[in-house]
Structure 1
Amino acid sequence: MHEKKVLITGGTVFVSRYIAEYYVKKHYDVYVLNRNSKKQSKGVNLIQADRHNLGNLLRDFHFDVVIDTAYTSDDVEKLLAALDSYEDYILISSSVVYPENLSQPFKEDSPVGLNNYWGTTELIKFEEAAALLK
């Protein structure tokens, strides 16, 4: 059995940092994709790049898991196009795609819609899901 490789976009702040550190502790071979503008977690392999300009940078890699913290459908599409080989893709979205009046906790089948607290800018997350379902 080979050591599993995981790619995490970001990996330096918020949830992506904790995800990277979790998988390092689980002895995965952890790669983070970011611009290297913040301190990297111990034990990760940095792929320094801007996700909007990946070119062939990821072509020689195979990942068992890709964990993406994209903001737009364009982000999702560019990363998927740049990846040559992967098994599972996980998109980490946020709860702001759910209307503020829904009961929590939210579930995968909870209806999405405008959240009046966050406004329309957060509806970009809808586009991500749509891009993945194409």
Structure 2
Amino acid sequence: MSAKPSVLFVCVHNAGRSQMAAGWLRHLAGDTVEVRSAGSDPADQLNPVAVEAMREVGIDITANTPRKLDYATAEASDVLITMGCGDICPVFPGRRYLDWHLDDPAGQDLATVRRIRDTIKARVEHLLTELATQPD
């Protein structure tokens, strides 16, 4: 891992979970981590309930757009975190993988998405601790 690790969050639509995780990591890590997100089958737009849940905690993800996972992005990432992709998310050799089992916020009410958001925050905080303790 380089001095500035890169983390790629991947979910199917890149519209909810992975966008919230990327938002949390950018917010909590600042410029100490390169943050990316993508989806195996990206949606046309972000989940508006996920956007609202993040806005409530002062994180604006409205400038983000769902993007397709590509080989170059995955290959250039030190850590790949999948969220509900299952076998749809491809595996790239030589990368550290984590699979976060999280409910999909699609079609959920705001209270449910808040719980998902808060779970993601706790996992991102733990990830930051792990990244800080790993040797270069």
TM-score between the two structures when normalised by the length of structure 1: 0.45
Decide which structure has greater strand share.
1
The two structures have a TM-score, normalised by structure 2, of 0.45
- Which one has a larger percent helix, Structure 1 or Structure 2? 2
Q: Bigger radius of gyration, 1 or 2?
A: 1
